Structure 1
């Protein structure tokens, strides 16, 4: 290879460029073909002469040897032509340097035949965002190109090109004429930018399988934990792990195929592991246990709870084993690096798989101890602590303290951070009884309102006929309570109506039993069929063997959600008695709840209001599993009307719970006094069309939505939302009489 001095110098006047050229020419000669080297020369010389100083050529000389080698002959010329023609000769000339630098990331996340695809993407964004202002002849630079180039690594790492185009198009659709908001969007700083980005990522989004995973956990352990997905990309949680705490499961918002296990099964593996901990793990004090001791204790505890879960559901074994990495016994050399994690992953696999190939005597000894312990049928988290401490002592090595630690294939992705098994008591050192203190704290917490992370829902944009992803945040909480006797006084006030309803309810109540004839086996002999069979036998015919009669419980299979609009307008006074719409609603709901309790239907009451898309409140007043008692009455007595009516989000959230009920008929009753509206919406059709879309969505789930409107002007918009499924009550003061009757007619 020639010496540096033998290469032709660049034809440019910048000594700084010549110096960088000398430093990089040998690298370029190694990596580039003869044609590529010519392109390298010409590109550096051209960029030095376009009036932007020496910076562009310096960046070019440092990066292009690798770029040209990756994309092949002709690629450097394409990049130079694009930088010169499409960027530097436009108001976007400040973007040339970031554009050239972006290729450091681009070659890591594209194939060597995708250069044109990347250049087309940049050109598309440039053409759509470089603009002119009316009356000014100068064209203005793209307000967002620099922002997008700064995030190019993340975009290419997480999205396919098709997904990037969709992300760009969403930003253009809403912010093309708003430079500041456009810059914020393409910087991935705004909530809607992140939401669209997340929807386009490679892999399976948790929201797409949430219902399936929820049914899985209910079938497995009959639990119904809430979910709070997190996104490591935006929350800077590179080493964050899932966990279950305060009945909320924190888990990744997206999974990809891993070790041949699809994303949905990965979520199932995670869910099964978390709930196994919830079922079988008890807290142990962690203060005198070192991090390494906790590390191995957690391995034994993970294996213990999984072993117990597999006794009931054997199929979980293969699901979990497929997600545990398998390492060779001699992959780690403890002379040069810490093998702590290497020993841990071998132990993890060996504890679950009897067919492992490891020969280490200590490992085999502790696997046998673990199996012996599990075969006793009586184990606890303390046993895992005992095994973990002893195993660490037996395997401890001086190399464990080395900074160079073996990490490759040592992460079990479906396992949590095990916070559920440790109790730290430093701040309670002076307490006589830490467990008594913990019990008191838990009792105090019950009196506080539990803060649950918001649920995000799409909102329909009728003007573009598309969804705004994760546009609305719905916060749910248990409604506050006051004096339950207020509701009892309401029922006493309407005692005459209660008596009328009771007569109707008695007619609607199902019979206790329904006879099933023609059964092979049953509770009683069906004499008519039995005699006919005897005659058949005597006549030499084949007798009917279904000679028994059985009985089944005959009941109404109905689940109902009453969704109350609790917006400010309910404070309006109506009627000659000076009652507010809210007070009349309380009376009507009280009578309805009493009636439904008599029927035994599965019934829930919730309320909602909103204060922009960032805060839609969803209040639980009566749950499906609760009876009509003083606790529920106390919540209903404390209803307050405030803020606005973002109906679509509330309908979607209510349907989320109603859909989980196991009934033949599911009815959603929406009680409202006006059209959907919110203070951040200026087009009145926006929330009407979104509510209509939400109604269509719940109908597709097999839910029957029905609206009871107290607005005399409802005919102007109610059909657009609910079609023919509505009633308008013009005399609002008659609501207490009309609502129970309407419910009974809908559920006959």
Structure 2
């Protein structure tokens, strides 16, 4: 591993002694998660940041954080991260960009999807224009925020604060630092019942116990301006599920978000197990597609219940 890194001695020399030491410490994980092409992009990304002349911290935070982002979302997410950072270069300080890098593993882990991660980076860029003093305290509290909010909830919370305090820099710092009552009030309003990222592993084990195989699942975010998520759907053998489910209070009792995820996942998995050919919408009217889809839903659910009677209550 060390011998492989020595192939890039010119890059090590360009980075300087301190950054090279950090790179050596991070190389083991980087070599495990990056492809050979991704490793070269990783190294050239570090030297590109070095050439900006904005200090060493910027380079160090990228070197240390990029492997973790790749482990969660794939190496293309690091390219998105670098592109976003370069776009932010003229809008903010090196300290804030370093925080974007160092907090990116938290965002990658909590969001769990490359598209949502790109949406998160776009949100930061938007806030740099609308509430520049709020970005740093928000990044300092990112773990707390994404532990309670979906990307849509984070966006609504952040844009509310940006709009309310667009001319008051001190108020921006208090709001985005979770130090003001209104910040905590909007945060509470935007909290969701159950986040997909918190139950993904449990749901995956549940499906594996039923069908003896793994199913690929990804979160998807609803309309950022609304609280409603997208309906679950299957695309390319991947089950896409809302990034959060609220608990339902029904006359018959309360259904929590975990049960909703179990039902949605079991239904989607039944389609993957029992549908041999996907339905084609060609030459069918919307009404015909609705009727056929309803019948197909009932068919795969009945087949699943025949195999696993315990699924019937779901």
In 1, Cα distance between equivalents of 2:96 and 2:23: 23
**TM-superposition CA deviations, 1:134-188 (whole Å, max 9, x none):** xxxxxxxx21110111111122121112212221222123211111112111111
Aligned length: 201
In 1, Cα distance between equivalents of 2:47 and 2:118: 23
Shift of 1:68: 2.0
8 Å contact kept, 2:127–2:162: no
In 1, Cα distance between equivalents of 2:165 and 2:156: 14
Structure 2 residue 173 is the aligned partner of structure 1 residue 183:
yes
- In structure 2, the partner of 1:192 is 182
Counterpart pick for 1:167 among 154, 157, 174: 157
Larger RCO: 1 or 2 (CA < 8 Å, sep 6+): 2
- In structure 1, the partner of 2:26 is 24
- What aligned pairs does 1:675-690 form with structure 2 within 5 A after superposition? none
Shift of 1:63: 1.6
8 Å contact kept, 1:4–1:26: no
In 1, Cα distance between equivalents of 2:19 and 2:163: 43
In 1, Cα distance between equivalents of 2:121 and 2:8: 31
- Structure with more of its chain in strand, by fraction: 1
In the superposition, the TM-score normalised over structure 1's length comes to 0.25
- In structure 1, the partner of 2:101 is 100
8 Å contact kept, 1:35–1:73: no
* Greater C-alpha Rg: 1
- In structure 2, the partner of 1:603 is none
In 1, Cα distance between equivalents of 2:75 and 2:66: 12
In 1, Cα distance between equivalents of 2:40 and 2:4: 16
- In structure 1, the partner of 2:43 is 41
In 1, Cα distance between equivalents of 2:67 and 2:108: 12
SS state at 2:51 partner: coil
Aligned Cα root-mean-square deviation (Å): 2.6
- What aligned pairs does 1:627-638 form with structure 2 within 5 A after superposition? none
- What aligned pairs does 1:112-151 form with structure 2 within 5 A after superposition? 112-113=113-114, 114-129=116-131, 142-151=132-141
Shift of 1:195: 0.5
- What aligned pairs does 1:474-623 form with structure 2 within 5 A after superposition? none
- In structure 2, the partner of 1:239 is none
- In structure 2, the partner of 1:665 is none
**TM-superposition CA deviations, 1:234-290 (whole Å, max 9, x none):** xxxxxxxxxxxxxxxxxxxxxx87xxxx4648xx89xxxxxxxxxxxxxxxxxxxxx
SS state at 2:147 partner: helix
Shift of 1:76: 1.7
8 Å contact kept, 1:188–1:194: yes
8 Å contact kept, 1:106–1:152: yes
**Structure 2 unmatched ranges of 5 or more:** 195-244, 260-314
SS state at 1:48 partner: helix
**Structure 1 unmatched ranges of 5 or more:** 130-141, 205-255, 270-321, 323-748
Structure 1 residues 189 and 85: CA distance shift in structure 2, 3 A: same
- In structure 1, the partner of 2:8 is 8
Shift of 1:73: 3.4
- In structure 2, the partner of 1:155 is 145
8 Å contact kept, 1:64–1:76: yes
SS state at 1:100 partner: helix
Following TM superposition, the consecutive aligned residue runs of length 4 or more in structure 1 with deviations greater than 3 angstroms are 4-7, 262-265
8 Å contact kept, 2:55–2:94: no
